[in-house]
Chains A and B, each alone.
Chain A
Amino acid sequence: MLESIVALPGDEIEIRRKEGKELVIGPGLRKDNQNTIVSMKCGLLKKKENFFWLESHQKRYVPSRNEYVIGIAVTKSAETIKIDIGSSEYASLSFLAFENATKRNKPNVEIGDLLYCRVLTGNKDMEPELVCIDAAGKASGLGVLKDGFMFKINLELARRLLSGSNQFLRELSKNIPPFEITIGMNGRIWIKTSSCKQTIFLFQAINQYSNVSESDTENFIKNLLKDYSDWE
């Protein structure tokens, strides 16, 4: 793996191309006029098969298609709701993009509500568009998030928590009372627990986790749970 290569803007990334395989470059990389691949942000160079991208610590969210985000309803009009998803402009969410919604039967969304949605169009030239249903027209977890507590983390931590190989939440949930958690790719986390104490505990645990490496996760959780039993 290319784990430890840290690229800075303008660095030329030399990738040996395999015959017959197309190269795909992702966030942080671009092709310049000479057909070489150049980085335009700083970050760790990552690779998966023929995909290359830079993993960087960004705080500002830039919407892209099929990402799941947590938004806040800002304004309502007849057909759509404007949602703040932390990007440069508000995203629009149609009232019809909810499960079982019709022209007459509109979903109950108030200004200030939290919504868990999927980005339908995330194009730099267009206003982002959100939906709260999947391809089959089912909500499957999307929609208004009631009660609970929302806080912000950096985007890199959100991606880490969501990645399939990450054990942090899995291990944590085995050892403490059940809770609900929703992580948006835009760096917002919503948690709902049965007690205030647990909310504070989770909030602190997740914030502290941003400084913990993947290999130290196990130890970190052990220490956390020790603390947690002291709290009780």
Chain B
Amino acid sequence: MEGVMNSAIIISILATGIRLATPYLLAALGEMFTQRSGVYNLGVEGIMMMGAFAGFFATLHSGSPLMGIVASLLIGALMGLLMALVSVTFKAEQGISGIGLYMLGWGLSGLLYRLYVGGITSIDGLKTIKIPLLSDIPFLGPIIFDQNVLVYTALVLVPLSGFILFKTSWGLNVRAVGNKPEAADTLGVSVERIRYQCLILGGMLAGLAGAFLTIGQANMYADNITAGRGFIAIALVYFGRWSPWGILLGSLLFSMADSFQSMVQVLGINFPYELAVILPYVVTIIALAISFGRVWAPAALGKPFQRGTRG
């Protein structure tokens, strides 16, 4: 254990933490809108896999990660649309629809990869962009301002989604539809349309989160690349109590714990790695358990809307 926790190491832990937080942040912010409108989409993992594949595939063939981003947004929107069709129009049980979407996304991404790529192939993904001046700030600069464009996007989306949700009339409609769909309906807000919009938006962000894994981190694609990250993102929405800042806090806490445990292992501090690997999960549960109180949730969450009936 040589010079263990010097500042370079701490900067590395924190910068890695922010990088690791990005897919959670993107997917969870999308899921926040979805749930705020009263639908929980457990299929985030499947959408992420499709986004990861689409981002990879488009980048591979165009040579431009930008095309990868566009493709992942498109495929995410399509998957969101499918979820909306099933859970809003056909009023299906949302938890199960989500699991169906997850299976479909997993299978389809694997199938398409085998049919149209086949074999491990590497791509040139997003490059890190040093933001002039800001990246020179001591300590904070290398942590926050030396990342790739999707990391910045995710960070900017936090205040932006807060603004959209709480300061715009569309955001007001979303919250109304999620809390009191009957009342919103009476006031002429189309519950179905808002839910469709939120599911598509959530799908796009989940697609983007998936693309971050392939074109922003791994620079390649492999089966089951999301490895459960979509489910963690859903959990983080609950953790963050459906607020962008709460989700940011949760994502950072989870990812920092992950980044920290990696460094602890690497530095050879004697600690069983299984315990280290489960640390982020345990921290999340404990943090939620001790924050006590009734957790606020959209009142109509999980309930399909049927005009003329209650709930």
Do A and B come from the same complex?
Answer: no
Please give the residue numbers on chain B whose beta carbons come within 8 Å of chain A beta carbons, in ascending order. Answer: none
Please give the residue numbers on chain A whose beta carbons come within 8 Å of chain B beta carbons, in ascending order. Answer: none
